[in-house]
Amino acid sequence: MRSFKVTAFGGALADTQSETPVPTGTQVLLKIAACGACHSDVHIRDGFFDLGSEGRMDLSRGVPLPMTPGHEIAGEVVALGDAAAEMLSVGDTRVVYPWIGCGTCETCASGDEQLCRKPRNLGVNVDGGYSDHVMVPHPRYLVPFDPMPITEACTYACSGLTAFGALKKLGTLGEGDPLVIIGAGGVGLAAVRLAESVTGVAGIAADISSDSREAAMMAGARDVLDPSAPDAMRNFVKGTGGAAGVVDFVGSAESARFGFDILRKGGSLVIVGLFGGSLVLPVPHFPLREVTIRGSYVGSLPEFHELMDLARSGRFGPVAVETRSLDQADATLYDLKDGRVSGRIVLVP
């Protein structure tokens, strides 16, 4: 099989050929038809996250090289281990839940595999989807997506699920509870599309780019704002009373600070983005305004099933994707790194 692999952190992806593996036990071999390119693949290729004044978070220990990135994978079942044959058939098409844990610890048993301390995440810890084939350890990670197009379905595994998991943490909001979505890139736009179905209210999208704000309006945002405009924070709070919920899909020091500053009393900020940086905050604001800051990492397997059921029913409308040949995997990561991408890119082998 042909795979584009990280062979040295910071270098280009290597175009490699290897023996196509044969599934055993509960394993399922998928022939990949689509794999979304995600900004976190850039970090995986680079080998670190920027932690601002705290330096860098080294990923080299958790990412064994050589490793095939790509975690938004969909394709067709082409071979099954004996123990998987009752649950799936050759020819079935599925989208992969990639946030796989050890499968045996208490965290995994509770359904939160994405938080397992011994992760086997596809495209992060084990080989993923920048390839023509991928091995999945068990049929339970394979979810139907029909009647959606496969190039859209794959994007639900990370950008869709990440948006869904973050919005779910805000619970149900009412008409008078402003929801702000910071960053209308790939994941942020997914959140704009999902917001009303998940929280009950449409989101207000905050982005420094006018193109992204326009895309957010097209995707169903209630309103947009430019957080870099003079007095953006004060005007928002004056006009709305402050946000009940904010999801920060950028994750920079500036975006998180903006999200924190626009919260109303009792409001919650959920940080999702991995841009990097560090945040210094006035501690008395926590007790006096009873605000919450929490993180959100992708989503659980039960959440993925819930999301795919909603998506298959046509609740969210189509995802705008640009398809590119798998040959362009490395160039695509540079485009993502340099901010030359709006919306989702899906690689097709």
Q: Which residues bind Zn ion (CB under 5 A)?
A: 38, 40, 101-102, 105, 108, 116, 158
- As a whole number of angstroms, the distance between CA 332 and CA 320 comes to 17
Cβ proximity to Zn ion: between 40 and 252 the closer is 40
Cβ proximity to Zn ion: between 185 and 242 the closer is 185
Task: Provide, rounded to whole angstroms, the least separation between the CB of residue 290 and Zn ion.
Answer: 32
CA distances 127 to 73, 78, 94, 124, 306, Å, are 11, 17, 18, 7, 26
Please report the DSSP string for 232-255 in residue order. HHHHHHHHHS-EEEEEESS-BHHH
Task: Provide, rounded to whole angstroms, the least separation between the CB of residue 102 and Zn ion.
Answer: 4
Question: CA triplet 42, 46, 294: central angle to 5 degrees?
Answer: 65
- As a whole number of angstroms, the distance between CA 42 and CA 347 comes to 15
Handedness of CA 181, 156, 136, 337 (dihedral sign): negative
Cβ proximity to Zn ion: between 101 and 251 the closer is 101
Task: Provide, rounded to whole angstroms, the least separation between the CB of residue 109 and Zn ion.
Answer: 8
Instruction: With H, G, I as helix, E, B as strand and everything else as coil, classify residue 289.
Output: helix
Task: Provide, rounded to whole angstroms, the least separation between the CB of residue 116 and Zn ion.
Answer: 3
Cβ proximity to Zn ion: between 121 and 199 the closer is 121
| DSSP H helical ranges for 36-127 | 39-46, 106-109
Task: Provide, rounded to whole angstroms, the least separation between the CB of residue 158 and Zn ion.
Answer: 3
Cβ proximity to Zn ion: between 105 and 253 the closer is 105
Task: Provide, rounded to whole angstroms, the least separation between the CB of residue 291 and Zn ion.
Answer: 28
What's the token pair of residue 235? 């005007």
Cβ atoms of residues 314 and 149 within 8 Å: no
Cβ proximity to Zn ion: between 27 and 159 the closer is 159
